[in-house]
Amino acid sequence: MAEPIDVPKLVHDLRNPLNSISMTAELAKLQLMQGEAAEAVAGNLDAIIRICRSCSTQLDEVSRAAKASGSSQDQGK
């Protein structure tokens, strides 16, 4: 039987990377406004992309767990 999804933990685990994305985007915006080197801005954009991929992986795991949980509940009927 699949383990139930811990929603508060899930929210916490996804909120942290979203905060990182927001802060990194703000930093990239400031860098652009101050005319900093493209490499510095690109580094922050790369970080945002990396964090987004991590969030996507986490959501895929949640989706699989939810499907497994639904399947095990259906079998118990």
Does the pLDDT value for residue 8 go beyond 90? Answer: no
Q: Report d(CA 17, CA 47) in Å as an integer.
A: 11
**pTM of this prediction?**
0.76
What pLDDT sits at residue 2? 58
Distance CA 21, CA 51 (A): 7
Contact 27, 44 (CB under 8 A): yes
Dihedral of CA atoms 39, 43, 44, 50 in degrees, nearest 10, equals 150
Predicted pLDDT at 40: 94
pLDDT at 4 (0 to 100):
73
pLDDT of residue 68: 83
pLDDT digits (tens, 9 = 90+) for 18-75: 999 999 999 999 999 999 999 999 999 999 999 999 999 988 988 888 888 776 655 5
